[in-house]
């Protein structure tokens, strides 16, 4: 069954050519995009959808979220808004609530959060463990996450639980806990920050997970300048996330990691993506990550929601894009690219092999997964021009209309 979506006023492909097509159309066959181009030249299809002169983007790719949790942290949020500084310790509150919640309820809560994200245009997302923090509950979180998210990251190294020796807990994360989650996860992450894990402990975790065949990510440089960025680049991590406080050498290291990659062809050795989390920055009252400086230096940048109960309880990628334009000095095209292609790059899903069905996401191109986001506006500029407005009109996820 093929579907022609026509009368698209603006089609922002975010492909390697970064095309913006006017009066465009897209054809979907199964889960893949089979044709894009000018509407007047579109081939016949089994059914036709009239976009009504609206703009179309790739579906958002949210490469950083924490959807497996229970409980409420509004009191912490209120205290922070009243001037209390953010610290990593609030994770323990969520850990206790999550451990006390049944599998059924934890799954139901996560599925509801995924549905919220999809309803706002997110079509591919990663989520993490990290609120179990013992072998049983981390394994449970990984198993449940694998049923609701597209990719799962092991974050046993989120925080050292109260009363435990940090080095002994790090041994647990690198050993029995890692073995328990390994069947369900693709990535490993560590919160390399003061109050969480030191550089030495973070290195141990990342090295053990790399040796187990997992890709690497790092929570780094959120609360101050620190070793997170340098460690991520040194170990070849796919992304380092937060990046609020960067020294000159951090930006240089990130830029150098992309020296062997050709952005025009999408080939060569990927570097470490700098993932900015503006909704979290606003909630924690940290400086916004320097996305403009990173892009100007040649670093590949992603935007993600960081949806979590303590510091960024939103899955609205449109809000992140709007903030990036209005406050982080990105153009609309750059911000949308960071929230689509950039997220796919951070998850190693920007490439695809159409012949064997390995579908790329984050861009609109023939052979890629048909993840499409139709706005109730004539151009993507309206995302920043009309901030806060619910502009998602329709969403296709792997060729299926979700809204």
Q: Is 158 annotated among the ligand-binding residues?
A: yes
Q: Is 311 annotated among the ligand-binding residues?
A: yes
- In whole angstroms, give the CA distance from residue 138 to residue 168: 17
Q: Is 219 annotated among the ligand-binding residues?
A: yes
Q: How many other β-carbons are positioned within 10 Å of the β-carbon of residue 278?
A: 26
Q: How far is C-alpha 221 from the chain's CA centre?
A: 17
Write the secondary structure of the chain as one string of H (helix), E (strand) and C (coil). CEEEEEEEEEEECCCCCCCEEEEEEEEEECCEEEEEEEHHHCCCCCEEEEEEEEEEEECEEECCECCCCCCCCHHHHHHHHCCCCCCHHHHHHHHHHHHCCCHHHHHHHHHHHHHHHHHCCEEEEEEECCCCCCHHHHHHHHHHHHHHCCEEEEEEECCCCCCCCHHHHHHHHHCHHHHHHHHHCCEEEEEECCCCECHHHHHHHHHHHHHCCCEEEEEECCCCCCCHHHHHHHCCCCEEEECCCCCHHHHHHHHHCCCCEECCCCEECCCCEEEECHHHHHHHCCCCCCHHHHHHHCCCEEECCCEECCCECCCCHHHHHHHHHHHHCCCHHHHHHHHCHHHHHHCCCCCCEHHHCECCCCCCCCCCECCEEEECCCCCCHHHHCCCCCCEEEEEECCEECC
pLDDT at 354: 67
Q: Which CATH number fits domain 60-330: 3.90.1570.10, 1.20.1540.10, 3.20.20.140, 3.40.50.970?
A: 3.20.20.140
Contact (Cβ atoms closer than 8 angstroms) between residue 7 and residue 15:
no
pLDDT at 93: 85
Residue segments in the chain with a per-residue pLDDT below the cut of 70: 87-89, 353-356
Indicate yes or no: pTM above 0.85. yes
pLDDT at 356: 64
Bridge partners of 57, per DSSP, are 373
- In whole angstroms, give the CA distance from residue 307 to residue 118: 13
The CATH class that applies to domain 2-58+353-401 reads mainly beta
Q: Is 66 annotated among the ligand-binding residues?
A: yes
Q: Is 368 annotated among the ligand-binding residues?
A: no
- In whole angstroms, give the CA distance from residue 31 to residue 383: 27
Task: Answer positive or negative: Cα dihedral of 217, 348, 307, 247.
Answer: positive
Q: Is 265 annotated among the ligand-binding residues?
A: no
- In whole angstroms, give the CA distance from residue 55 to residue 374: 6
- In whole angstroms, give the CA distance from residue 393 to residue 298: 34
pLDDT at 84: 82
- In whole angstroms, give the CA distance from residue 262 to residue 291: 20
Domains 2-58+353-401 and 60-330 share a fold: no
Task: Answer positive or negative: Cα dihedral of 242, 193, 68, 240.
Answer: positive
21 dihedral zone (left: phi>0; alpha: psi -120 to 50; beta): beta
**Closest-CA residue to 273 (of 126, 371, 102):** 126
Q: Is 7 annotated among the ligand-binding residues?
A: no
Q: Domain residues of the chain, as ranges?
A: 2-58+353-401, 60-330
pLDDT digit string, tens, across residues 127-164: 999 999 999 999 999 999 999 999 999 999 999 999 99
- In whole angstroms, give the CA distance from residue 372 to residue 146: 23
pLDDT digit string, tens, across residues 294-303: 999 999 999 9
Q: How far is C-alpha 211 from the chain's CA centre?
A: 24
pLDDT at 89: 63
pLDDT at 10: 98
Q: How many other β-carbons are positioned within 10 Å of the β-carbon of residue 356?
A: 7
Q: Is 310 annotated among the ligand-binding residues?
A: yes
Please state whether beta strands 273-276 and 301-303 pair in parallel, antiparallel, or not at all (unpaired): parallel
- In whole angstroms, give the CA distance from residue 61 to residue 236: 21
Q: Is 131 annotated among the ligand-binding residues?
A: yes
Contact (Cβ atoms closer than 8 angstroms) between residue 4 and residue 25:
yes
């Amino acid at each position: 069954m093929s579907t022609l979506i026509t009368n698209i006023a603006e089609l922002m492909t975010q492909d390697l050519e970064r095309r913006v097509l006017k009066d465009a159309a897209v054809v979907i066959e199964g889960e893949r995009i089979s044709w894009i181009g000018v509407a007047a030249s579109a081939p016949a299809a089994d059914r036709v959808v009239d976009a009504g002169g609206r703009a179309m983007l790739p579906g958002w790719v949210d490469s950083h979220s924490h959807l497996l949790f229970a409980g409420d942290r509004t009191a912490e949020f209120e205290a922070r808004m009243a001037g209390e500084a953010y610290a990593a310790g609030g994770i323990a509150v969520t850990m206790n609530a999550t451990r006390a919640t049944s599998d059924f309820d934890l799954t139901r809560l996560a599925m509801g959060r995924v549905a919220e994200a999809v309803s706002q245009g997110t079509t591919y997302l990663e989520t993490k463990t990290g609120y179990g923090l013992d072998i049983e509950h981390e394994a449970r979180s990984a198993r449940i996450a694998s049923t609701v998210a597209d990719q799962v990251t092991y974050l046993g190294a989120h925080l050292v639980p109260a009363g435990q020796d940090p080095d002994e807990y790090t041994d647990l994360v690198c050993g029995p806990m890692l073995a328990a989650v390994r069947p369900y996860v693709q990535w490993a992450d560590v919160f390399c920050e003061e109050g969480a894990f030191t550089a030495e402990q973070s290195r141990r975790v990342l090295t053990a997970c790399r040796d187990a065949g997992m890709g690497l990510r790092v929570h780094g440089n959120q609360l101050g300048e620190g070793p997170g960025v340098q460690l991520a680049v040194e170990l070849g991590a796919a992304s380092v996330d937060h990046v609020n406080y960067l020294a000159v050498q951090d930006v240089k290291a990130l830029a150098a990691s992309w020296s062997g990659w050709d952005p025009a062809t999408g080939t060569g050795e990927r570097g470490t993506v700098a993932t900015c989390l503006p909704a979290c920055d606003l909630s924690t009252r940290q400086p916004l990550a320097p996305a403009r400086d990173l892009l100007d230096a040649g670093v590949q940048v992603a935007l993600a929601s960081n949806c979590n109960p303590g510091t960024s309880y939103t899955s609205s990628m449109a809000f992140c894009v709007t903030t990036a334009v209005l406050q982080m000095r990105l153009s609309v095209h750059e911000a949308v690219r960071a929230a689509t292609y950039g997220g796919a790059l951070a998850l190693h899903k920007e490439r695809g092999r159409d012949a064997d069905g390995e579908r790329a996401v984050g861009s609109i191109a023939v052979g890629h997964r048909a993840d499409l986001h139709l706005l109730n506006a004539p151009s993507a500029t309206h995302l920043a021009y009309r901030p806060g407005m619910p502009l998602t009109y329709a969403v296709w996820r792997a060729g299926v209309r979700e809204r």
